[in-house]
Chains A and B, each alone.
Chain A
């Protein structure tokens, strides 16, 4: 290699060659199909949103997410850490900071623009919608440039990178959605998006320069009083009664405070929107829904943050020898993590449930919400309305806990590829969920899906039960849980399912909803398979 620029390009190409080969293969297949169709003179409209989603949106989103992670070095580091994600090994190369920041950004931007152009030329067919030529590519490039800048920046607090990235990237994403909604002119969008890349470069240049000289700001010392209060609250002066209580304390101090902290930081940004919502019921509902979805959403990404046991160790995702050599069974180690997940979930929801009424009251939107609540209570009756409210809240809280546990046990596997893959999958899911839901509503398929729900639920229950049986057999064979623990766990789950089913049957007292469907909902609603898999995941990691 003759130049350092070529060497860096080679490193990207070599490291991600399999992803690139898959992408090129997909593009070639599309090109071949399109060529055959065009030669045959067949006229195809891709108006159908599902074909648009499956042909264009899904591969484009997956590729975009992959390129985002690859060019920002997001696959190499800890997203939640204060330190820059930019690989420290590159700082010792005889390159200027401009080149260190500029070259990966340049390659990433080229990749994004090529991705869009290839999609635009090869993957898009004639549609009823006017697809712009330039600005979506520039939007992808801007998102990448800002992601690079934000991930390379050292942060003063743990977890701040994720919050900053979510806020900045959501703003740019919303810009794109608004442009689509209002059919913005290409020139306007280009004028808005073009300055984003040089701006992001300046921020990235500052980030790399700071990371290169090891400058990691630390607000923990500035916020010394707060940390002292936190220490006083959790400082142990007395002895632990049991090893399990010591381990639960350890897990809470190590991982438990992340989710509540992230939620507390994000809540004001979301709730402040209530002040501009006015009397718009739909806007208020959307804001409240996004607030309620914040804890489970943030819990989904906890795996990447909570699983790293030792930043400096070569095997950073493994269980650290310090923890692995505690004289505790795998089940006891998992139980401590599950307890921590419960406390973490409760703490996060205490903030959410405390902040919502205050925000509604002081923004003046409480009148709108109360009016709708009274109307709903009159229709279904006060007890039913109250139970539904509690069920919905319980559902969100349970979803947070299961997402946190799922993240935890993905982390417990200790495999970097599994952990990072889960984050990429979750991001892909969130990118696709919106368009998919919109497609269902717009194509008026809700009725059809509703009529097929019993079948869908039955298939899901079958899959869940197969997974449970496989996990149960494995747990029994490897003696990771005692027979008594297995039976108690199964009994508790059954009681919870019957209790939920009873409540649902009472609530949906309608002849057109068969009771067996409610039973299926209850079986799906109470977590079992994912929780049972946790000891297996830990054993896989602890005894490699």
Chain B
């Protein structure tokens, strides 16, 4: 992945999106092949890799017993590049009460708290696993806004997986489609649109996805 790109990772349920992200984070050991992030093996050198990655989990497993300000203090200890002013700015823009316990936050507020700690140290790579899954449009807008802000900062890379292909179309400049653990398409969004043009009409990413994944499934059945 080149620096500064926004990668949209799309695929059906069980296609392997989360598995790929877990490999990037070093949460899975590769049975064959190798994984390199910033030129490092994330399993062998978790500190070197994870200190440069901001991650928002699909499960949103922030510790429920912590208060928002405790979460911020706890998280800042791990990242020398933590920016207190930026963290406070994000907290205010997300309207998070510092004294509120995580477990008492709504799903959207939890996602915002997760974004806060994933962004406050300006990571080189932002990994978002289904960040807007099950969230209302306002929270989705906040998350997309945060991604766009991250892109605006020079040299930062974003990898995010999503089922909502409209979202991917809005922010991604490179799309990777995976199906049953294999990449079926990976190219810049513009190239994908151009190559799939039918009778002058540019199809939506939804249509391209259905076509590509359908073709891949048919090929697998033929084999």
Q: A325-B50, A479-B44 are in contact. Are A542 and B65 (CB under 8 A)?
A: no
Q: Which A residues are CB-close (under 8 A) to B44?
A: 479
Minimum CB–CB distance for A309 against chain B, Å: 7
Minimum CB–CB distance for B171 against chain A, Å: 23
Partner of B27, one of A238, A245, A313, A324: A324
Minimum CB–CB distance for B133 against chain A, Å: 14
Bound together, the chains give a CA A324 to CA B57 distance in angstroms of: 11
Q: Are A327 and B50 in contact (CB under 8 A)?
A: yes
User: Interface readout for A301-345 with B: 1 if CB under 8 Å, 0 if not?
Assistant: 000000001101100000011101111111000000000000000
Q: Are B73 and A239 in contact (CB under 8 A)?
A: yes
| B7 interface residue per 8 A CB criterion | no
**Which chain A residues (523-544) contact chain B, with CB distance < 8 Å?**
542-544
Q: Which B residues are CB-close (under 8 A) to A12?
A: none
Q: Which B residues are CB-close (under 8 A) to A268?
A: none
B interface SS class = loop
| A242 interface residue per 8 A CB criterion | yes
Q: Which A residues are CB-close (under 8 A) to B51?
A: 327
Minimum CB–CB distance for A329 against chain B, Å: 6
Minimum CB–CB distance for B120 against chain A, Å: 13
Q: Which A residues are CB-close (under 8 A) to B50?
A: 325-327
Minimum CB–CB distance for A233 against chain B, Å: 14
| A243 interface residue per 8 A CB criterion | yes
Q: Are A544 and B29 in contact (CB under 8 A)?
A: yes
User: Interface readout for B39-75 with A: 1 if CB under 8 Å, 0 if not?
Assistant: 0000110110111010101010111011000100110
Interface size on B, residues (CB 8 A): 28
Minimum CB–CB distance for B66 against chain A, Å: 8
Q: Are B47 and A329 in contact (CB under 8 A)?
A: yes
Q: Which B residues are CB-close (under 8 A) to A324?
A: 25, 27
Minimum CB–CB distance for A232 against chain B, Å: 13
Q: Are B27 and A321 in contact (CB under 8 A)?
A: yes
Q: Are B61 and A313 in contact (CB under 8 A)?
A: yes
User: Interface readout for B154-185 with A: 1 if CB under 8 Å, 0 if not?
Assistant: 00000000000000000000000000000000
Bound together, the chains give a CA A479 to CA B51 distance in angstroms of: 20
**Which chain A residues (73-130) contact chain B, with CB distance < 8 Å?**
none
Q: Are A321 and B61 in contact (CB under 8 A)?
A: yes
**Closest B-chain residue to A250, C-beta based?**
B74
Q: A310-B59, A321-B27, A327-B50 are in contact. Are A240 and B43 (CB under 8 A)?
A: no
Bound together, the chains give a CA A241 to CA B73 distance in angstroms of: 11
Q: Which A residues are CB-close (under 8 A) to B49?
A: 327
Q: Which A residues are CB-close (under 8 A) to B57?
A: 321-322, 325
Minimum CB–CB distance for A158 against chain B, Å: 10
Q: Are A243 and B78 in contact (CB under 8 A)?
A: yes
| A375 interface residue per 8 A CB criterion | no
Partner of A543, one of B29, B61, B65, B66: B29
**Closest B-chain residue to A321, C-beta based?**
B57
| B95 interface residue per 8 A CB criterion | no
Q: Are B28 and A544 in contact (CB under 8 A)?
A: yes
Minimum CB–CB distance for A231 against chain B, Å: 9
Which of the listed residues B53, B55, B77 has the most CB atoms from chain A within 10 Å of its own CB? B77
Q: Which A residues are CB-close (under 8 A) to B63?
A: 250, 254, 322
Q: Are B73 and A321 in contact (CB under 8 A)?
A: no
Q: Are A325 and B53 in contact (CB under 8 A)?
A: yes
Q: Are B73 and A543 in contact (CB under 8 A)?
A: no
**Closest A-chain residue to B55, C-beta based?**
A325
Q: A479-B44, A544-B28 are in contact. Are A242 and B77 (CB under 8 A)?
A: yes
Bound together, the chains give a CA A325 to CA B59 distance in angstroms of: 13
Q: Are B27 and A542 in contact (CB under 8 A)?
A: yes
Partner of B46, one of A245, A254, A328: A328
| B79 interface residue per 8 A CB criterion | yes
| B196 interface residue per 8 A CB criterion | no
Q: Which A residues are CB-close (under 8 A) to B78?
A: 243, 246, 326-328
User: Interface readout for A250-268 with B: 1 if CB under 8 Å, 0 if not?
Assistant: 1001100000000000000
Q: A239-B77, A543-B27 are in contact. Are A327 and B59 (CB under 8 A)?
A: no
Q: Which B residues are CB-close (under 8 A) to A309?
A: 61
| B76 interface residue per 8 A CB criterion | yes
**Closest B-chain residue to A253, C-beta based?**
B65
| A235 interface residue per 8 A CB criterion | yes
Bound together, the chains give a CA A115 to CA B70 distance in angstroms of: 53
Q: A543-B28, A544-B29 are in contact. Are A329 and B46 (CB under 8 A)?
A: yes
| B108 interface residue per 8 A CB criterion | no
Q: List 25 A-B contacts (CB under 8 A).
A: A239-B73, A242-B77, A243-B77, A243-B78, A245-B77, A246-B73, A246-B74, A250-B74, A309-B61, A312-B59, A313-B59, A320-B59, A320-B61, A321-B25, A321-B57, A324-B27, A325-B53, A326-B78, A327-B51, A328-B46, A328-B47, A328-B78, A479-B44, A542-B26, A543-B27
Which 7 pairs show the lowest CB-CB distances between chains A and B? A246-B77, A327-B51, A240-B77, A327-B50, A321-B57, A320-B61, A543-B43
Given contacts A236-B73, A325-B50, 9 further A-B contacts (CB under 8 A): A239-B76, A243-B78, A250-B74, A253-B66, A321-B59, A327-B51, A329-B47, A542-B26, A542-B27
Query: What residues of chain B have their CB less than 8 Å away from a CB belonging to chain A?
Result: 25-29, 43-44, 46-47, 49-51, 53, 55, 57, 59, 61-63, 65-66, 70, 73-74, 76-79
